[in-house]
């Protein structure tokens, strides 16, 4: 007999999505409904600490049982208070009433599985303390992926990865915008390529037009010194020439394994392609695209604008098989 738990949960979420008012129980089981900040309605005395004055704003960390875990805006102090000591429910209610039905129905577990609702960067809603120091509210980091119940973020300024709870960022807010307008933000792949592309013909930098993104991004990872790459590239060039006129919603990008710009251009000229390329020196900067590849070349990977892999030659028996799968995808 199949478990009824998924059906029960779905019914509960649907009921909440249709309801006009939130209850405290909704906030305890749906953390995505928690506001980023709340205001104290009355003074709160803390053991061994100064009394917190009414009207003080505090960051919301989590709900634990019948209590709320809060922290000061500087992130230096956390503590538990009763919900009635804050305006949490009223603040959540005000935000809830502005949401459309599909926005109300979006739950955190669903969001963590839907890359199409992820932005490239997220903004921290409260300070994050790390061994390397502290990141402040309002700082941004690249959303790399999900590890367990947490987000894996890349901090560009310090070039390191760290984990944070989804509610510690604005991911839910941006996802609610994307669920009603899929073009509210540029795609994650286009953002990752931005500022890193060069012409495979001239070697000069070229822009990534995020306002005119292809539906499918095809990444060819290869190099002129690689024999199997030189065998595969004529098939990919022919595929591009044959398919592009009738199916213009895709683009190929060359992820170069060549050591120098001269080698990259020489391979492109010999193979007969003019696709924009990412030189090897710029590839470690890409937190989305660079994670698509194995150590084997040639490799052909096709994704959508969010970075969801649709075809991967490393998983289907080689680039020729992947090319046939890509053709079938375009002809759907």
DSSP readout, 118-143? --SEEEBSS-EEETTEEEPTT-EEEE
Beta bridge partners of 216: 250
Beta bridge partners of 132: none
Let me know whether 299 and 200 are in one domain: yes
For range 286-302, the mean pLDDT: 96
Enclosing H/E stretch for 155: strand 150-155
For the chain, the average pLDDT equals: 91
Q: What pLDDT score does 45 carry?
A: 81
219 pLDDT above the threshold of 60 = yes
| Cα–Cα distance, 47 to 271 (Å, whole number) | 73
- Per the structure, the count of domains in the chain is 3
Let me know whether 229 and 166 are in one domain: no
Q: What is the pTM of this model?
A: 0.88
Instruction: Find tokens 């409904």 and name the residue.
Output: 33
Let me know whether 69 and 23 are in one domain: yes
Kindly report the number of other CB atoms within 10 A of residue 43's CB atom.
12
| Cα–Cα distance, 179 to 189 (Å, whole number) | 18
Of the three residues 27, 62, 97, the one that is the final residue of a domain is 97
Q: Give 99's contacts (C-beta < 8 A, 6+ positions apart).
A: 176
Per-residue pLDDT tens digits for 161-173: 999 999 999 999 9
Which CATH number is 127's domain given? 2.30.30
233 and 320 in contact (C-beta within 8 Å)?
no
Lowest mean pLDDT segment, chosen from 55-59, 210-214, 316-320? 210-214
Per-residue pLDDT tens digits for 85-121: 999 999 999 999 999 999 999 999 999 999 999 999 9
Beta bridge partners of 124: 169
Let me know whether 146 and 219 are in one domain: no
pLDDT band, very low/low/confident/very high, at 6 (cuts 50, 70, 90): very low
Q: What CA–CA distances, in Å, run from 155 to 131, 140, 141, 283, 305?
A: 14, 7, 5, 16, 22
Let me know whether 240 and 280 are in one domain: yes
Let me know whether 143 and 160 are in one domain: yes
- Domain of 247, in residue numbers: 188-330
Let me know whether 127 and 228 are in one domain: no
- Long-range pairs, 126-131, Cβ under 8 A, ≥24: 126/36, 126/59, 126/61, 126/71, 126/75, 126/168, 127/59, 127/71, 127/74, 127/75, 128/75, 128/162, 128/164, 128/168, 129/75, 130/162
| Cα–Cα distance, 226 to 230 (Å, whole number) | 6
Which CATH number is 251's domain given? 3.40.30.10
Let me know whether 115 and 174 are in one domain: yes
Of the three residues 180, 213, 246, the one that is the final residue of a domain is 180
The fraction of the chain above a pLDDT of 90, given in percent, is: 79
| Cα–Cα distance, 251 to 326 (Å, whole number) | 12
- Structural tokens at position 33: 């409904």
Let me know whether 79 and 19 are in one domain: yes
Let me know whether 156 and 235 are in one domain: no
Let me know whether 221 and 136 are in one domain: no
DSSP readout, 191-204? HHHTTT-EETTT--
Let me know whether 68 and 146 are in one domain: no
Q: What CA–CA distances, in Å, run from 231 to 38, 62, 312?
A: 62, 56, 18
327 and 300 in contact (C-beta within 8 Å)?
no
The fraction of the chain above a pLDDT of 70, given in percent, is: 94
Of the three residues 63, 97, 131, the one that is the final residue of a domain is 97
- Structural tokens at position 154: 């890349």
Which CATH number is 57's domain given? 2.30.30.40
For range 261-267, the mean pLDDT: 97
Q: What pLDDT score does 5 carry?
A: 52
pLDDT band, very low/low/confident/very high, at 17 (cuts 50, 70, 90): very low
Peptide bond into 208 cis (omega under 30): no
């Amino acid at each position: 007999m199949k478990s009824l738990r998924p059906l029960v949960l779905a019914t509960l979420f649907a009921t909440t999505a249709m309801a006009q008012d939130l209850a405290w129980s909704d906030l305890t089981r749906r953390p995505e409904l928690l506001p980023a900040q709340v205001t104290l309605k009355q003074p709160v005395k803390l053991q061994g600490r100064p009394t917190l004055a009414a009207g003080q704003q505090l960051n919301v960390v989590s709900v634990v049982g019948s209590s709320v875990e809060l922290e000061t805006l500087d992130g230096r102090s956390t503590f538990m208070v009763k919900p009635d000591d804050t305006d949490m429910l009223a603040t959540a209610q005000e935000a809830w009433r502005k949401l459309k039905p599909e926005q109300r129905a979006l739950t955190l577990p669903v969001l963590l599985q839907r890359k199409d609702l992820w932005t490239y960067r997220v903004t921290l809603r409260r300070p994050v303390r790390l061994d390397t120091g502290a990141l402040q509210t309002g700082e941004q980091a690249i959303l790399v992926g999900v590890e367990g119940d947490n987000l894996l973020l890349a901090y560009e300024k310090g070039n390191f990865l760290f984990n944070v709870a989804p509610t510690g960022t604005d991911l839910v807010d941006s996802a609610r915008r994307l669920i009603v307008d899929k073009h509210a933000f540029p795609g994650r792949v286009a953002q990752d390529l931005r500022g890193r592309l060069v012409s495979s013909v001239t070697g000069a930098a070229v822009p990534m037009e995020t306002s005119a993104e292809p539906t499918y991004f095809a990444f060819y990872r290869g190099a002129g010194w690689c024999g199997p790459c030189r065998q595969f590239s004529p098939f990919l060039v022919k595929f591009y020439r044959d398919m592009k006129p009738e199916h213009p919603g895709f683009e190929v990008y060359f992820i170069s394994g060549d050591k120098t710009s001269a080698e990259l251009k020489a391979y492109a000229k010999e193979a007969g392609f003019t696709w924009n390329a990412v030189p090897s020196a710029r590839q470690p900067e890409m937190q989305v695209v660079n994670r698509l590849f194995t150590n084997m070349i040639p490799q052909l990977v096709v994704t959508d604008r969010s970075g969801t892999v649709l075809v991967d030659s490393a998983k289907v028996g080689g680039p020729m098989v992947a090319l046939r799968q890509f053709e079938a995808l375009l002809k759907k």
